[in-house]
Amino acid sequence: MEKGNSNWTAMGDNAIIGIIGEFIKQKRLQENKSQADLAKEAGLNRSTLVQIENGESIRLTSLIQILRVLNQLHILDVFTFEDKISPIEYARLKEKKKLRASKKSTEPNSNNDIEW
């Protein structure tokens, strides 16, 4: 099952849940696992697995448990976020970058050493 759907925004929530359920079912069958086996490995009731495979809603934590057992957690990589710096901010930081080392003052009456 290598079908892709690039029009997720046009789909309703139930249709998306149905596609996720079908994905799980196909991955389960590829690994030659029964619903009972997968549910047990994921720490879930078999009825929860039946629900998602039938296109019904389940808790997000249950979905994560199922994906973990099916070795499909890499799917969640799309949720990572990298803090990127804008080119303008990068240029500002480069301007502030120190170009030379300054000599520390060793004079006894410098501003750093005030005597009373």
Q: What is the pLDDT of residues 45-102, one digit of tens each?
A: 999 999 999 999 999 999 999 999 999 999 999 988 887 888 888 888 887 776 677 7
* Residue 82 backbone zone (phi > 0: left; psi -120 to 50: alpha; other: beta): beta
pTM attached to this predicted model: 0.66
Confidence band for 104, pLDDT divided at 50, 70 and 90: confident
Report the alpha-carbon distance of residue 79 to residue 81 in Å, rounded: 6
Closest CA to 71 of 22, 24, 16: 24
Domains and CATH numbers, the chain: 9-79 (1.10.260.40)
Which tens digits make up the pLDDT trace of 12-60? 999 999 999 999 999 999 999 999 999 999 999 999 999 999 999 999 9
Is residue 1 pLDDT above 50, yes or no?
Answer: no
Q: What is the DSSP letter of 66?
A: H
